[in-house]
Amino acid sequence: MKRILLVAFVMAFAYAPSFSQSDTTIKYYSKNGKETTKDSAASYVKFFRQSNLWHGMEYYTKRNVLKSEGDYNETNLQTAVGSVNYYKEDGKLDYTTEFADGKPLNKTYFHKSGDKKSYTLYSDKGIQLQKGWDESGKELKDFVVEREAQFKGGTEGWKKYLEKNLNPSIPTAVGAPPGNYEVQVQFLVDKDGIPTNLKAVSVPPKCKACGAEVLRVLRESPKWDPAILNNEPVIYETTQTITFQPVEGVKKG
């Protein structure tokens, strides 16, 4: 019996794949999925070269547990191909997305039991189909799988709100040279639709007051329609670019 076990071990060892340094690489990502440094990473990915693809295994940094696993054309999470599985921090499967060259084709969420919870089909124009089921498998009517937070009235409503409330003459008032001035602001829309955690992440050096003006208008903003995930409101992070045009007014970029 010992001899048989030894032979089996030797055979397994002989055929185990080996990776050279050029066959593997590790990259670090922020919570927003952008590549970052090891010290500030929310997750990291081990990429292994397999034929003409890279197999990526992403881990939560804090707990070192699997976050996602799938294949990629390059060592980049934006180049997924085929099916990629995404896991919660407790190790349970959260959802699976099918990709074609980094483009999502469909997404399926799962209940804790492993049964299908929702399904989304994408097209070039965005979401084409959304369905949801309760834990017994019954399809739920008018189920919304995912929806971004948006200002009431959509993009046009947001533009009109800015045109009415933002002071476009701020650059002129502070003596800034003629031209357009862009302010990039980042904030959260909470479950009640209230903008919070307002932060101007990019402000023109010659018009610091432009950043303050954008934050003022956002603080006074009415409630937004909150983001939806699997038929429930969720906290949503967004980045908006506001352009001051002293002569013609202001527009949303």
Between 252 and 178, residue with greater pLDDT: 178
Q: 143 — phi, psi (to 5°)?
A: -75, 130
Least confident among 11-25, 30-44, 167-181, 205-219: 11-25
Cα 36 from chain centre: 15
Q: What is the pTM of this model?
A: 0.79
Beta strands in the chain (DSSP E): 24-29, 43-50, 53-60, 66-72, 80-87, 93-100, 103-110, 116-123, 126-132, 146-147, 150-151, 181-189, 195-202, 224-225, 227-229, 232-234, 236-245, 249-252
Whether pLDDT at 120 is above 70? yes
Between 251 and 176, residue with greater pLDDT: 176
CATH of domain 21-147: 3.90.930
Bridge pairing between strands 181-189 and 249-252: unpaired
Q: What is the mean pLDDT of the chain?
A: 88
Would you state the pLDDT for residue 246? 65
Whether pLDDT at 229 is above 50? yes
Over residues 128-154, the pLDDT tens digits come to 999 999 999 999 999 999 999 999 999
Whether pLDDT at 12 is above 80? no
Q: Using an 8 Å Cβ cutoff, are 187 and 197 in contact? A: yes
Residues of CATH 3.30.2420 domain(s) within the chain? 151-225+235-252
Would you state the pLDDT for residue 32? 81
Q: pLDDT above 70 covers what percent of the chain?
A: 88
Task: Please list the alpha-helical segments (H only) found in 101-147.
Answer: none
Q: Does domain 151-225+235-252 have CATH number 2.60.40?
A: no
Q: What angle do the packed helices 154-165 and 208-219 form, to 10 degrees? A: 120
Over residues 74-103, the pLDDT tens digits come to 999 999 999 999 999 999 999 999 999 899
Please compute the mean of the pLDDT values over residues 25-40 and round it to a whole number.
92
Please compute the mean of the pLDDT values over residues 166-192 and round it to a whole number.
93
Residues of CATH 3.90.930 domain(s) within the chain? 21-147
b/e map 116-138, b = 16+ CB within 10 Å: ebbbbebeeeeeeebebbeeeee
